[in-house]
């Protein structure tokens, strides 16, 4: 894994962390019923990208 991939993984982990906080808040205050699903999809995409980066 090169330096660029490691940096990208670090950025994605931060994004996942922030998204989990947003997801928690979105579930507590359901203004937009589609928002939790959108945030969960963002988290899943980030986790998938991390997995692909680790495999390469």
Task: Write out pLDDT tens, residues 1-53.
Answer: 799 999 999 999 999 999 999 999 999 998 888 999 999 999 999 999 999 99
Cβ contacts of 54 within 8 Å, gap of 6 or more:
1, 9
Q: Which two tokens stand for residue 39?
A: 């945030």
**Is 16 within 8 Å of 43 (Cβ atoms)?**
yes
At residue 8, the pLDDT reads 97
**What one-character DSSP code corresponds to residue 34?**
T
| Domain edges within the chain | 3-55
């Amino acid at each position: 894994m090169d330096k660029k991939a490691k940096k990208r993984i670090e950025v994605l982990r931060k994004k996942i962390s922030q998204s989990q906080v947003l997801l928690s808040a979105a579930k507590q205050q359901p203004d937009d019923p589609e928002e939790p699903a959108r945030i969960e999809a963002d988290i899943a995409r980030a986790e998938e990208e991390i997995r692909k980066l680790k495999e390469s």
